[in-house]
Amino acid sequence: MVDRRERPLIVGSGIAGLYVALRCRELGLRPTVVTKGRLEEANTRYAQGGIAAAVGPDDTVARHFADTVRAGAGLVDRAAARVLTGEAPARIADLVRYGVPFDTVDGRIALGREAAHTRARLLHAGGDATGSSIEETLKRRVLEAGIEARERTSLRALLPGGKEGPVPVLSAPDGSGIEVDQPRPVLVATGGVGSLYRQSTNPSVTTGEGIAIAFRAGALVSDMEFVQFHPTAFAREGAPRFLITEALRGEGAVLRNEAGERFLVGRHPDAELAPRDVVARAIQEELVRSGRLHVLLDATALPRDRLFARFPSVTNFLLAYGLDPSREPIPVAPVAHYMIGGVSTDLEGRSSLPGLYAAGEAAATGVHGANRLGSNSLVEGLVFGERAARQLRHPAPGGPAAPERVIDVRPPAGEGRPEERASFEAIRSALWEEVGIVRSGPALRGALARFEELARRTAPARAGAYAGPVANAALTAGLIARAALARTESRGAHFRTDFPRPLPAWRRHLGLRLRAPARRRP
């Protein structure tokens, strides 16, 4: 009989989930991958800029480490950053081994540059189709390896399961019922929360559900206040918020307001290549000042052949909407993009619960601090995914250290009311308007009250029932708002008008932990 510990369940099919599945198989395990959409439908697929690693002749691991720490606004876990930057080149070699077709020039890997990187260190594939190339390659290798992959299967809950790991509760692919599994190791690689915001670059599956389910099971989460907003998404009424990669600015495109002025010059020494939080807030201020819905990203000074060859996905998308970026500027605005926080893990992917692991965007290792360095996300899924896979093969006790401050959250008793799409849309609007790029105490308190009310109404009212997507969305949104309200300063991706400066006392991480409701007296 096969030991259940040799059959880990991997929830999510982005770069972290698929890579861990492949490595588990190579290490002799028999993993199963489940995903609530199609296997290829993950944030990884939409990553354009590239994947960061110090592989260039003028680059070093030390420079990559320094750039990562600098972008993180004083909160980067240095041990995690050393792991990320030091092991990144080896993980790139793994992708090459799996067949990812990275772009080359004269037989050498082509390297691009993005904001806050001091060297060109971004490997790309298919120009700006890097994420899609990686996702399709890993998907193909998973299927070729015969790894069990179950699409349209959702994780509904994690129940206590003892030393072998939690008990996963899954929904059947056809929606016909609930499947209660046996105890086994579980890796949460469900991605971020972007689709909980009304304006986002993320696919619809990224609703933070894995984080909510792990939290309900008792896992510690941290850094939930740090949601990164990408400064430049296509902003035209009736069109999708298509990501306009930061690498375009790395090639020389500039941002202008309606008067044609480069408004980032003088605001930051790196102008358009400043960290993402600086650029996103600068654009937001221009939008508020002008009353317009977008600023302009001007790439007209770039040679047309280079522009179209380097960024085929972006240029083809824009041409479909009647815009030639070599002749006219691109209307852009900030959107929700990346969740820095998530399930707290140590450097081996272990959560605070035995047998529960996390990797990729759903995990909080501390490596991004308060503001992720662009293109560190894909390589994070590989580096810490490798460590999680090895831990799954040879488990050992461990887990994350508790953050300097931990808030106990006592959820209200649920009413079990039917979930409605309108409630989900209300969450998305409240997050965007009140827990977005610019925040304030009153707005955060109002949003938190709404999220808690929705969580109370939709949470299960009886034992044996499991939270649905809206209840989990309300919980995750509430965790973001609660953490943002508690952090009474501005740092990195978290900015409050009532506390506009970073404070030394807040140079620490913030955790959230579930506490069972107080028992009623008889």
The residues annotated as belonging to the active site are: 276
255 pairs with which residues across the strands? Answer: 297
Distance CA 254, CA 267 (A): 14
Please give the Cα distance from 340 to 323 (Å, whole number).
33
- Give the relative orientation of helices 130-144 and 376-393 as an angle to the nearest 10 degrees: 20
Question: Where are the alpha helices (H) located in 37-107, listed in sequence order?
Answer: 61-71, 78-98
Contacts of 316 (CB under 8 A, 6+ apart): none
Among residues 496, 510, 139, the alpha carbon closest in space to that of 341 is found at 510
In contact, 242 and 234? CB cutoff 8 Å: yes
Find the angle CA(251)-CA(93)-CA(149) to the nearest 5 degrees. Answer: 100
Nearest 5°: CA angle at 193, between 100 and 282?
90
Tokens of 339: 């969740």
H or E element: which one contains 232? Answer: strand 227-234
| Position 159, amino acid | L
Cβ neighbours for 53, distance < 8 A, ≥ 6 positions apart? 64, 88, 89, 91, 92, 121, 123, 379
With beta carbons less than 8 A apart as the criterion, state whether 394 and 373 touch: no
